[in-house]
Homo-oligomer: A and B are copies of this chain.
Amino acid sequence: MLSFVNDYSCGAHEKVLEALCKINLEPNVGYGMDPYSERAKEKIRAACNCPDAEIFFLVGGTQTNQVVIDTMLQPYEGVVAATTGHVALHEAGAIEYSGHKVLTLPHHDGKVDADDLRQMLKLFYADDNHEHMVFPGMVYVSHPTENGTLYTKKELSDIAEICRAYEMPLFLDGARLGYGLASEETDLTLEDIARLCDVFYIGGTKVGALFGEAVVFTKKNMPRHFVAQVKQHGALLAKGFLLGVQFDALFTDGLYQEIGRHAMEMAKLLKEVLTEKGCVFHQQSPTNQQYIVVENGYMKELEKKVRFSFWETVDDAHTAIRFVTSWATKKEDVLALRDIL
């Protein structure tokens, strides 16, 4: 059945899969010490224009958030996030499991606002009692956000400036980074992100890889004995070369960018189709996730012909649903959707 349900329902981009098939019988050293991983890291450093970047490949998103946050925070610190942030809502308490509180700020279309952050920090340090509270130790943003929105260069710079002032690392969750970079609706580049953030990750799982996220520490700040800490979290992949090979492919000849562009073209087409069909948008999204409001009876009909995802209940008679494009979306899929709507 036609599917716009999410961006992680297919395997890998054919070039990524080919690369995996090609080295399949080659013996490689384990735990990411292989030459493919090294090569992929070099290419990512170049793409980020960050020659000093320390890079580590992990398997999945929640795992990456848990490992990065837990290893970069002091035990008495929490991570600041928007109420809609993945770490705040949809990781089954993986951050708390590792001992840290998620300190929430109201979201603005899924984004953290610099003024809110400044105010929170000011109040915290003004409170005589703050040794009895959780210290804000890091700021977490996602880009694109869970709502499909994007930070501008100005917005992220403002947040980064506050983080510098308070000596807190800024962490950007780039699970869907490829789609954000390809959107025309932000001026924020990969280089900017590498410059402004202390750590971020380049999502592979949702952007062309079978699985895998590339964590980039930009300021010579990879936590000490990181391999041991990753292992301790149960997150060290024995065959680390599988991650290296995939990211090597993704960062060869601009494949990662190409994937992003393709999905965004499909998203644009999808938006046109939805508009043309008179759909009501639930919220504006400049990326590969599009949200519309439908009448419940119509939704039930639609479910028989195309897969999408439930977003939230709007009122007794209406529901917001989400359509997602990805590297795997074909033009004919979107056109088929037009016929259905």
- Asked if A97 meets B233 with Cβ closer than 8 Å, knowing A29-B9, A239-B8, the reply is yes
- Asked if A11 meets B24 with Cβ closer than 8 Å, knowing A60-B236, A93-B76, A101-B96, the reply is yes
Contact A62 B236 (CB under 8 A): yes
Contacts of A82 in B (CB 8 A): none
What is the oligomeric copy number?
A: 4
Contact B25 A132 (CB under 8 A): no
Q: Which of A41-49, A111-119, A153-161, A221-229 is the contact stretch?
A: A221-229
In the complex, whether A310 has a CB less than 8 A from a CB of chain B is yes
Q: Which residue of B lies closest to A20 (CB)?
A: B11
Contacts of A59 in B (CB 8 A): 59, 237
- Asked if A25 meets B8 with Cβ closer than 8 Å, knowing A92-B76, A94-B232, the reply is no
In the complex, whether A152 has a CB less than 8 A from a CB of chain B is no
Pick from B10, B29, B131, B228: contact of A225, CB under 8 Å = B131
In the assembled complex, the Cα of A30 lies from the Cα of B14 at a distance in Å of 20
Contacts of A210 in B (CB 8 A): 20, 239, 242
Separation in Å of the A322 CB from the closest CB of chain B?
12
Q: Which residue of B lies closest to A34 (CB)?
A: B9
Contacts of A8 in B (CB 8 A): 30, 238-239
Pick from B11, B66, B237: contact of A234, CB under 8 Å = B66
Contact A97 B232 (CB under 8 A): yes
- Asked if A93 meets B234 with Cβ closer than 8 Å, knowing A8-B239, A76-B225, A224-B74, the reply is no
Contacts of A313 in B (CB 8 A): 126
In the complex, whether A17 has a CB less than 8 A from a CB of chain B is yes
Pick from B63, B100, B242, B328: contact of A211, CB under 8 Å = B242
Separation in Å of the A179 CB from the closest CB of chain B?
16
Seen from chain A, the residues whose Cβ lies within 8 Å of a Cβ on chain B are 1, 3, 5-6, 8-12, 14, 17, 20-21, 23-30, 59-67, 70-71, 74-76, 78, 89-94, 96-97, 99-102, 126, 128-129, 131-135, 205-206, 210-211, 224-225, 227-229, 231-239, 242, 307, 310, 313, 328
